[in-house]
């Protein structure tokens, strides 16, 4: 005895197949776009050691238009603990 295929079952199979094909198409398209982008936008190139050895390790701070230069000192952390406000009751 073979059960008759209902319209609902046929529709579910059809939409399932369409969904599978759409997933395959989206994955393939995103891979193709990633390949195109990787060819179009090159990353940074690694310079050879001789060019790095000839350049100075530390550059002098540049003077701004008002005559002051920036200090090469890292900021110090503040001693006070941060204040945290919660939205809870």
pLDDT score, position 53: 52
CA distance 71 to 63: 10
Q: Which helix (H) or strand (E) holds 14?
A: helix 7-40
Who wins on pLDDT, 82 or 89?
Answer: 82
61 touches 72 (CB < 8 A):
yes
Q: For residue range 30-78, what is the model confidence (pLDDT) as tens digits?
A: 999 999 998 888 776 666 655 545 555 555 555 566 666 666 777 777 7
Please give the pLDDT value at position 36: 92
Domain definitions of the chain by residue range: 7-41
CB 13 within 8 A of CB 5: no
CB 62 within 8 A of CB 69: yes
Which pLDDT belongs to residue 1? Answer: 47
Contacts of 10 (CB under 8 A, 6+ apart): none
Tokens 């920036």, residue?
70
């Amino acid at each position: 005895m073979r059960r008759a295929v209902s319209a609902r079952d046929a529709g579910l199979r059809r939409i399932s197949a369409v969904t599978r094909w759409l997933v395959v198409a989206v994955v393939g398209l995103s891979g193709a776009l990633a390949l195109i982008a990787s060819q179009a936008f090159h990353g940074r190139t690694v310079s050879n050691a001789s060019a790095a050895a000839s350049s100075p390790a530390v550059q002098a701070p540049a003077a701004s238009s008002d005559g002051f230069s920036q200090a090469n000192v890292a900021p110090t952390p503040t001693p006070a603990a941060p204040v945290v406000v919660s939205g809870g009751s």
